[in-house]
Structure 1
């Protein structure tokens, strides 16, 4: 179409230009337009300086430098001896007329291949752990260190030419140190699964960590880690504990078991004369005097077993709250509770059973059991005191206020005998722990409910002059011993810990507490 046109010509490398064009019908029109190139600027620097700059194969100069250049696309190349050549495509445009570059030139590389003896050690390059083959900067010094446990380390300084490949060898010398091992008592020394004989032992070992184990029958094994050092003598001395001593040292003084029963540990070497002489007021004929020694550490429950604790083993219909002592259970049920608890805590059951009934016991088992009659009487009469006493609270026949739940003034009319001028605040059974701890550290030994103990009830007088050690009685029998006063007890006879009954069935004023040996076996 003929006419006059305004043309706008744009090129990113040039200044834009506007021209007027006349077009005549039937004629060919040619237009030659010269655009003004953008006046661009290059600023080129490098680290290190002194690198040669090329622009499209044209040598420009050394860094740092600055030069003008028309707008266009260019190949920029930076070259420095022993450094990796840098190549980049750049453009000077009207939008970006300045090109600024600061190149951190990277040294050319060399390769180190390692020949190591022994193998599988650690190689450090300038203090940094590396894995071979090593690709290193050329023309600079590198500190190569090879190390392995049990050997002296070795260091070499290496400088490679550009593109050089070199093999470096390390031959480490073994490092050994002397170890002197002693123990009390002498024991067999095992190092890395090898028997080194009976201590004392003196030997040279590689300078690596060694597990040294001391073993002796009847004693707790001890393992120690030792790392010898070349040119030195290292001494290792240990004292072994018997299994008994070790477990005693580790044992908690009080703990709560899986059923929520709190127990206290008694470590004793003590004796007591059980029973009562004929001259003692309130004495009964079945209270034979027996001299016993207790030497085996045992736990005893702080409280009588409660309804809630017993219900975890066996549901029992009761209107009492969970913190009341469980009562009206048979000796067989109490023993079964002990065995159930032992199995729960992965201990050897103390009681042997057949067809659901106890037929004997394992005196070396570590499982739960009822307290022995001897333990119970020692706890009530001697534990925490300088000498054994007539009553749990002492020798005075007058009961101190708030001592125990027994037949007090409130029991008048409910029981045949009661203690006048005494009021404990309970007319019947009380929640466990309602009174202060006794001298033994336990609760309610002086009252609340009487308690089944482990022993079979016998009325055979002991042999004169006999001292029984950790007695547990015979394996089985018809009746079992019940110890301790309860909320119905109101006479000197029944309030004394020497009082004992032999029963075959439970009663509403009888419960139980549990114990166990610290560990099974002998005290050796």
Structure 2
């Protein structure tokens, strides 16, 4: 804007006002900022903006934050959390993340840790602070040094102060010499507080008066000299031993039961004269000594003997004549006694089978067997030796009145080994096996001229010399059911074959040998029969486990009789003898078509094993009761061969297995003979088995 210069105007105003004329002045326009700029930079705008930002932050924090709550014990514990947090009620608002915390309270151990707050849900934690240990101050009346036991264990203390005790109830016992124990049940609060316990201790002693005759004796208790009699002294409660002694007199020990506060006056102690001391030595040493009939030990020996009387001493030692001696010792004296014992002898005659063996006595060679030796009458070790035989040893004490004889029967190594082999044993299922040691050559089968002979009884020459065990009875139902618990031998026409002590039947050959393998495993033996997928595929002739008898073993046990082969179980002739076995007799009329009309065995079907007499080897039921599965495969030979079979185990091939022995169903001449052979593979109600084992 342009300011024009003012032009004077003349008017008709008074002259006095002419000096007030308006004069022109210079003008500079003001530079005005925009309204928007003024508003943005104003103080009010900045405050509003700040508040808005804080509100946004607070809103965002509140949306994202999660509560972190600690439930503490004690509830007034102080809680510190690392990082930014907002206290809220019992907890804190924090953003998701990991936080370290510290919780402490007066009287408690602080606890530090780390927690993770997740974005989902809230976080709540329970924290129990452990109380600080407490202390115990024991004040006693009277004030004496004490031992403090807490719950039975001694705890170190400093003038009665025990520090650092775990809070809780406890039993406190206070012990002090010469005072009775003081016990209280207290509760230690902990929290670094001190529990004060006042204990009034009661005296634990009593006054004991002691006198002696003569007087002036020294009184000692537990090694401490208390004085001389007569004497009154204090003894602490308990069982005490009071010793009273006086030179040249016997000391006396008096047991005293002391009760606190109960004074006692002991009976006057009479001190008798002291014993004398006798030192005894014998040649040789080690002699036994009795004094007045009482054994006192072996020399060298020190003996305390009552003075003023005569004592009778006796000295004795094996091999020497005893000696008696009398002695009298004065009170308190000491003497030495030396005794020489004289050797006495007795005669011992030593013989041997075989003769001319060497004799060693007490480890020294003495001569040849068959001699009589004059030996000291004490214990001696006698050993008899001969090359090729096991040595014989024994102990003997010779007698001066009677000559003794030692007869040494020397065994070869083989004989000694067989003595270690039991003649019988019981297997794990309960049956008994007996040792057989055959050394025989015999003929199996029967002559063609023998009445009742079958074509399969071909004569074979056999040598049997391998030792073996064989079951004294057939395997019973009880034994077999330990292997197959649910097996049943069934019945015949209502007559049970299933009782525990009856022989097991209705099993085939394969089931019988599986039982053998099971029993071998149970007794820790090597199974004989080889299996593949449950099938029997062969056998191991070197194994020591259980098996079925071979046909040669069965025939030898059943028939061999001092070099000849028995025809029937009871002998070589008919008729059948009583009590010979279980066959088809009159009681079996309803079960079988043909029976023995003149014989009765009391059982229609099977009988309990060992119901009849055993044969000469002690084996039962080889004829009758049930026929028996045999180890061998079945075959028929072509006739008596000049080749001898040694310990045969049967052919390598075959479809069936041998069955030997008659059964409760048999009554014919053919079946009653011990040479009768049958064969089969399937189970029958009159076929069982017995066990055998090789000895390697």
Shared fold (TM-score, shorter chain, > 0.5): yes
1:481-509 per-residue CA deviation (whole Å, 9 max, x = no partner) reads 21123355576554543232444565554
Q: Residue in 2 aligned with 1:130?
A: 296
CA distance in 2, matches of 1:182, 1:399: 49
Structure 2 Cα separation of the partners of residues 130 and 227 of structure 1: 24
Inter-partner Cα distance in structure 1 for 2:673 and 2:214: 114
Q: Which residue of 1 aligns with 2:628?
A: 451
Alpha-carbon separation, structure 2, partners of 1:244 and 1:177: 36
Work out the CA distance in 2 between the residues paired with 1:151 and 1:401. Answer: 65
Give yes or no for contact 1:215–1:221 (8 Å, CA) kept in 2.
Answer: yes
Q: Which residue of 1 aligns with 2:337?
A: 168
Judging changes above 3 Å, is the alpha-carbon distance between structure 1 residues 514 and 191 closer, same or farther for their aligned structure 2 residues?
Answer: farther
The corresponding residue for 2:504 is 326
Aligned-partner Cα distance in 2 for 1:178–1:487: 65
Alpha-carbon separation, structure 1, partners of 2:459 and 2:313: 85
Deviation at 1:183, TM superposition (A): 0.6
Flag structure 1 segments of 5+ consecutive residues without an equivalent: 1-53, 57-81, 87-102, 413-417
Equivalent in 405, 410, 418 of residue 590 of structure 2: 410
The correspondence for 2:444, drawn from 268, 274, 279, is 274
**Cα pair 1:432 1:443 within 8 Å, conserved:** no
How many residue pairs align between the two structures?
Answer: 419
Shift in Å at residue 109 of structure 1? 2.6
Q: Work out the CA distance in 2 between the residues paired with 1:369 and 1:196.
A: 52
Q: Describe the superposition over 1:141-185 as per-residue Cα deviations: whole angstroms up to 9, x where unpaired.
A: 333333333445444432222321112233546666665532111
Tell whether the 8 Å contact from 1:210 to 1:227 is kept in structure 2 after alignment: yes
**Contact 2:446–2:459 (8 Å) recurs in 1:** yes
Alpha-carbon distance change, 350 to 287 in structure 1, aligned in 2, over 3 angstroms: farther
Q: 1:308 maps to what in 2?
A: 478
Cα offset for 1:226?
0.9
Alpha-carbon deviations, 1:121-149, whole Å to 9, x = none?
A: 32222332114421212243333333333
Distance 1:392 1:379, change over 3 A: farther
Question: Is 1:226 paired with 2:404?
Answer: no
- The structure 2 residue matched to 1:140, chosen from 283, 306, 309, is 309
Residue 327 of structure 2 corresponds to 158
Paired residue for 2:354?
A: 185
1:254-403 aligned within 5 A: 259-261=429-431, 273-280=443-450, 282-292=452-462, 301-318=471-488, 319=490, 320-331=498-509, 333-335=511-513, 337=515, 351=528, 359-362=539-542, 369-378=547-556, 380=558, 388-389=566-567, 395-396=573-574
Cα distance change of structure 1 residues 316 and 198 upon mapping to structure 2, 3 Å threshold: farther
Alignment of 1:93-104 (within 5 A): none
In the TM superposition, what is the alpha-carbon distance from 1:308 to its structure 2 partner?
0.4
Q: Are the aligned partners of 1:303 and 1:432 in contact in 2 as well (CA < 8 Å)?
A: no
Residue 325 of structure 1 deviates from its aligned partner by: 1.8
Instruction: Encode CA deviations 1:30-84: one digit per residue, 9 max, x unaligned.
Output: xxxxxxxxxxxxxxxxxxxxxxxx999xxxxxxxxxxxxxxxxxxxxxxxxx998
Cα separation, 2, equivalents of 1:55 and 1:439:
90
Give SS of 1:167's match.
strand
Q: Does 1:113 align with 2:247?
A: no
* Cα distance, 1:451 vs structure 2: 0.4
Task: Map 1:4-153; keep pairs closer than 5 Å.
Answer: 109-131=275-297, 132-153=301-322
Change (3 A) 1:219 1:476: farther
Alignment of 1:419-434 (within 5 A): 419=594, 429-433=605-609
Deviations 1:82-105 (CA, angstroms, capped at 9, x unpaired): 99899xxxxxxxxxxxxxxxx999
SS in 2 for 1:498: coil
Q: Distance in 1 between matches of 2:465 and 2:456?
A: 26
Higher mean C-alpha deviation, range 178-187 or range 475-484: 475-484
What is the aligned partner in structure 1 of residue 157 from structure 2? none
Q: Which has the higher mean CA deviation after the structures are superposed, 179-188 or 228-237?
A: 228-237
Tell me the C-alpha RMSD between the 2 structures.
5.5
Indicate the SS of the match to 1:377.
Answer: helix
1:511 alignment counterpart: 688
Give the structure-2-normalised TM-score. Answer: 0.46
Residues 456 and 677 in structure 2, CA contact (< 8 A), matched pair in contact too = yes
How high is the TM-score relative to the length of structure 1? Answer: 0.59
Structure 2 SS opposite 1:288: coil
In the alignment, what sits opposite 2:658? Answer: 481
Counterpart-to-counterpart distance in 2, 1:55 and 1:211: 59
Compared CA separation, residues 317 and 204, structure 1 to 2 (3 A): same
Instruction: Tell me the distance in 1 between the aligned counterparts of 2:578 and 2:378.
Output: 68
Decide which moves more: 259-268 or 271-280.
259-268
Counterpart secondary structure, 2:479: helix
